[in-house]
Structure 1
Amino acid sequence: MADHERTLGGYSPEAGRNAHEADAPTLIPLPSLLRSLLTDHLDPGYAAAAKRVRPRRLDWAWQVTAGLVIAAVLSTAVVEARSVAPATRETQQVLADGVRAAESATGAAVTRRDGLASEVEAERRSRLEGDAAGRALLANLDGAEFTAAATPVHGPGLTVTATEPGAARDLSDVSTQRVAGSTQVVLDRDLQLVVNSLWVSGAEAIAVGGVRIGPNVTIRHAGGGILVDNQPVTSPYVVLAIGPPQAMQDVFDHSPGLQRLRLLEASYGVGVEVAAGDDLSVPAGPVRDLNFARPMGP
């Protein structure tokens, strides 16, 4: 056997040739399995697997590269954030100082306004109480000011307190669904319903969170909090109502306002308390300038 035949595992390219018969096949084919064993030294399955491994390695390389790039970007962002953090804190401090200064100035202005209003009231009464016409005029002014919630009031009444629940009882507690991303349960519309129910129950003067309810005073939700006449109020929400306590409570116990609070109490754990008082005080409401008016009726 020649050397080249040994390299082919004993297979000779000339084997099987037939030159003795006319029109006979020149080369008798060998069985495919034997040909594969003699010529293909790597199993086709291994070859296919090797082809699949190469793209996977390439994909892993790209993933590693992308991960390194993302890590570098995040590292740069962290370094930049740390470098600007002192300036950000300083800006926040300046803004906070400005807010506190504005609040202080507003408080001083409100105190001065109330003092001047008291002086004007005293002077008006001293000038009008001297005769019958002046006393009648004062009586009309007192009635108008009371209707406009422009005078402080004290007397017996009801105190309605609604307290936000603490931490959620469990992770599936739906109380957090009333305000997205917040644990707040009591909303502005709940307090609006309570105030309207107290008016219907016979209240003569009402304050929510220390803010007198009067004409043009709104209770609304803004920025994740409740504003009463644009002043923020927080839990516990205290509603004071001046009026006959027993008669008011008899009506309020069956009102939509208390039913809403009881529903929040049973569903979300809101604290609800209704108590009668002998001497409650509500402050005067803000007096706004009337810019224009239109008569009603004929």
Structure 2
Amino acid sequence: MKRSDEGVVRNPEPSLLRSLMTEHLDPGYAASARAREHGKRKSTPTSASLWLIVGALLTGFVLCTAYLQAVEQVPGTNHVRSDLLSKVEDVEADIDALTGERDALAGDVDAARSEALAGDGSGLLEQLHGVEVTAGAEAVHGPGLVVTLTDPVAPPDLSDSSQRSVGGRAVVLDRDLQSVVNAMWASGAEAIAINDVRVGPGVTVRQAGGAMLVDNQPVFSPYAVSAIGPQSDMQTKFVVSDAYLRLTSVQQLYGIDFSVAESDDLSLPAATIREIRVAREGGS
């Protein structure tokens, strides 16, 4: 029996492939051409202009609404800001008053102690005085050096943003001040203060956010590191220290203002003395 293959289509050609080979234009072009032949247009200049005007009106309405809301919020924001500033000023006034009262009471305690130990022949009063001077518990004055570090007026263009702050924030870092303080101690300084904050035992110099804190008190640029001690000897040792070389490099790279000056009479305040709760007698 012979099988007939008539009417059987072998390897049919797909319609998509046929359309790609024969139709070189997208069907949309043909439809648009037919519409133009019949005088039809999808949109007229009048309708396009109308939609443009409607869009502009909607945009203007949204912008006006946002502006009115912002204007309504401004008085409330200014009021809150004024209240916060007033509270900050009140707290600062209270702190100043308490600080003055503390200093007055400390003076009374010192006077009473001196009167009580005036007739003591063991030299205890002199020993206490020496310990207080070493701990920075007394205000001192004398000749010394002043190292001043000032942030640049304009923020520098820095590539190593992980090392130095940018965008108007401080360029002088806490480790810069720490290196200066350590170099001053190594150069023979007897007392040191940063912007009238005495550096004593347990005092830290660190950054918190964008603020520079010395003994948890904020200080601002320019940072003046004042050190009392032998001027010539201190200056000779400081200019060959690692801190001086570090600050010279920072000055050249980031544009900070860095200077070292002598002063014949520096006045440094007393350091804050922490309350001693536990003490142990040291071995001989």
What is the TM-score of this pair, normalised by structure 1?
0.72
Q: Which runs of 5+ in 1 are unaligned?
A: 1-42
TM-superposed deviation, 1:295? 7.2
Identify the residue that residue 158 of structure 2 maps to in structure 1. 174
From 144, 148, 151, the counterpart of 1:164: 151
From 69, 77, 84, the counterpart of 1:95: 84
Residue 201 of structure 1 pairs with residue 187 of structure 2: yes
The CA distance in 1 between the partners of 2:255 and 2:151, in whole Å, is 8
Q: Which amino acid aligns with 2:154?
A: A
Helix, strand or coil at the partner of 1:144? helix
Identity over aligned residues, as a percent? 46
The CA distance in 1 between the partners of 2:231 and 2:135, in whole Å, is 22
TM-superposed deviation, 1:203? 0.9
Identify the residue that residue 17 of structure 1 maps to in structure 2. none
Q: Which amino acid aligns with 1:273?
A: S
What is the TM-score of this pair, normalised by structure 2?
0.76
The CA distance in 2 between the partners of 1:185 and 1:289, in whole Å, is 35
- Is the contact made by 1:192 and 1:219 (CA closer than 8 Å) also made in structure 2? yes
The CA distance in 2 between the partners of 1:292 and 1:69, in whole Å, is 73
Identify the residue that residue 229 of structure 2 maps to in structure 1. 243
TM-superposed deviation, 1:67? 7.6
Residue 127 of structure 1 pairs with residue 116 of structure 2: yes
The CA distance in 2 between the partners of 1:107 and 1:124, in whole Å, is 26
Q: Which has the larger radius of gyration?
A: 1
Q: Give aligned pairs, total.
A: 248
Deviations 1:126-157 (A, max 9, x none): 22121312xx1112211221222111111121
The CA distance in 1 between the partners of 2:283 and 2:53, in whole Å, is 80
Identify the residue that residue 152 of structure 1 maps to in structure 2. 139
From 221, 243, 247, the counterpart of 1:257: 243
TM-superposed deviation, 1:231? 1.7
TM-superposed deviation, 1:64? 9.1
Q: Which amino acid aligns with 1:156?
A: P
Aligned in 2, Cα 1:176/1:271: closer, same or farther, shift over 3 Å?
farther
Helix, strand or coil at the partner of 1:174? coil
TM-superposed deviation, 1:179? 1.1
From 106, 113, 118, the counterpart of 2:107: 118
The CA distance in 1 between the partners of 2:51 and 2:213, in whole Å, is 54
Residue 191 of structure 1 pairs with residue 180 of structure 2: no
Aligned in 2, Cα 1:264/1:48: closer, same or farther, shift over 3 Å?
farther
The CA distance in 2 between the partners of 1:117 and 1:235, in whole Å, is 31
- Is the contact made by 1:175 and 1:183 (CA closer than 8 Å) also made in structure 2? no
Identify the residue that residue 141 of structure 1 maps to in structure 2. 128
- Is the contact made by 1:158 and 1:249 (CA closer than 8 Å) also made in structure 2? yes
The CA distance in 1 between the partners of 2:165 and 2:71, in whole Å, is 33
Q: Which runs of 5+ in 2 are unaligned?
A: 1-28
After TM superposition, the structure 1 = structure 2 runs for residues 1-298 of structure 1, keeping only pairs within 5 Å, are 44=30, 47=33, 72-133=61-122, 136-167=123-154, 173-174=157-158, 177=161, 178-293=164-279
How large is the RMSD of aligned CA atoms in angstroms? 3.3
Aligned in 2, Cα 1:176/1:162: closer, same or farther, shift over 3 Å?
farther
Aligned in 2, Cα 1:87/1:126: closer, same or farther, shift over 3 Å?
same
The CA distance in 2 between the partners of 1:189 and 1:48, in whole Å, is 78
Q: Which amino acid aligns with 2:88?
A: V
Aligned in 2, Cα 1:93/1:266: closer, same or farther, shift over 3 Å?
same
TM-superposed deviation, 1:242? 0.9
The CA distance in 1 between the partners of 2:66 and 2:184, in whole Å, is 55
TM-superposed deviation, 1:237? 0.8
- Is the contact made by 1:176 and 1:184 (CA closer than 8 Å) also made in structure 2? no
